[in-house]
Amino acid sequence: METVTVQGVDVPVLGLGTARMEGEECRNAVETALDLGYRHLDTAQMYDNEAAVGAAIRDHPVDREDLFVTTKIDPSNLSPDDGHASFEASLDRLDAEYVDLLLIHAPRDYAPVAETIGAMNELQEAETVRHIGVSNFSVDGLRAAIDASETPILTNQVEYHPYTDQTDLLSFCIDTDVLLTAYSPLAKGKVADDETLAEIGDRYDKTPSQVALRWLLQQDRVAAIPKASSRDHMAENLDVFDFELSNEEMETVFDLQGGLLDRLRMALGL
């Protein structure tokens, strides 16, 4: 699995999203993903599937040190005391001694970011959390999290696909060496019917979904965590490392969101 490096940390650039999967469906999906070579797994307290993810990891022969496992604090658990207690419960459900990445799932006005970040820093000191980050944060929110933390903010996980404009956020992430992790990178299946993506894909014998993922992964400091439950879809999503889009093709995909050439240059680090 290829990786993207931010702040000296190597993160598998493509992971498995598990939102809206529970129980045996989730467990089977994670086991299948591990069999195929996925090493980046994303879960959350809100998804109610941490136990299923943990069971799949426990029963698979893959070395835990080879995995990058992310979970997220539910917005209702963002006070320092609740954050600590809920994270301990997450570890129990995951049957794990640590997670690689712990995120604030979404900001809330009633929970000051600095207090939650402080509690997450304490978990890092206890070595039950290796890295911390945020999700669904704006540029201003991400800046506040960075300023509040004693350790680097590794990522901001946000919705990002060919129909969303994250230019300002990605520019800030590049400037501050923060990973932008794209959830719903296939726009909940919408990209599969996109004629522009299909036309590009025909040149490489790739599907529109593979083109959308390749477009994301060619951008500076971007990783993606597409959700998939079937083996075929997981394998398709993983099969995006044997071709490369040209600058013109990258620009064409950016234009689906009204992009401009400077977005292309920024995303490619040119």
- CATH number, position 73: 3.20.20.100
* Mean pLDDT, range 230-251, rounded to an integer: 97
Is 262 part of a structural domain of the chain? Answer: no
Question: Is-contact 228 202, C-beta < 8 A?
Answer: no
CA Rg, the chain, in Å?
Answer: 18
pLDDT band at 58 (very low <50, low <70, confident <90, very high): very high
pLDDT tens-place string over residues 1-46: 899 999 999 999 999 999 999 999 999 999 999 999 999 999 999 9
Is 100 part of a structural domain of the chain? Answer: yes
Spatial distance between the Cα atoms of 149 and 117, rounded to a whole number of angstroms = 6
* Mean pLDDT, range 86-114, rounded to an integer: 93
pLDDT at position 261 over 80? no
pLDDT at position 258 over 90? no
pLDDT band at 260 (very low <50, low <70, confident <90, very high): very low
Q: What is the pLDDT of residue 79?
A: 81
The domain total for the chain is: 1
Q: Which two tokens stand for residue 175?
A: 């400037």
* Mean pLDDT, range 227-231, rounded to an integer: 95
Is 78 part of a structural domain of the chain? Answer: yes
* Mean pLDDT, range 124-140, rounded to an integer: 97
Spatial distance between the Cα atoms of 15 and 225, rounded to a whole number of angstroms = 4
pLDDT at position 207 over 50? yes
pLDDT tens-place string over residues 146-158: 999 999 999 999 9
pTM above 0.85, yes or no: yes
Spatial distance between the Cα atoms of 238 and 234, rounded to a whole number of angstroms = 6
Is 251 part of a structural domain of the chain? Answer: no
Q: What is the pLDDT of residue 111?
A: 80
Spatial distance between the Cα atoms of 216 and 62, rounded to a whole number of angstroms = 27
Is 197 part of a structural domain of the chain? Answer: no
Range of the domain at 120: 3-187+219-229
Q: What is the pLDDT of residue 267?
A: 58
Is 214 part of a structural domain of the chain? Answer: no
Is 32 part of a structural domain of the chain? Answer: yes
**Active-site residues: which are they?**
47
Is 67 part of a structural domain of the chain? Answer: yes
SS (H, E, C) the chain: CCEEEECCEEEECECEECCCCCHHHHHHHHHHHHHHCCCEEECCHHHCCHHHHHHHHHHCCCCHHHCEEEEEECHHHCCHHHHHHHHHHHHHHHCCCCEEEEEECCCECCECHHHHHHHHHHHHHCCCEEEEEEECCCHHHHHHHHHHCCCCEEEEEEECCCCCCCHHHHHHHHHHCCEEEEECCCHHHHHHHCHHHHHHHHCCCCCHHHHHHHHHHCCCCEEECCECCCHHHHHHHHCCCCCCCCHHHHHHHHHHHCCCHHHHHHHHCC
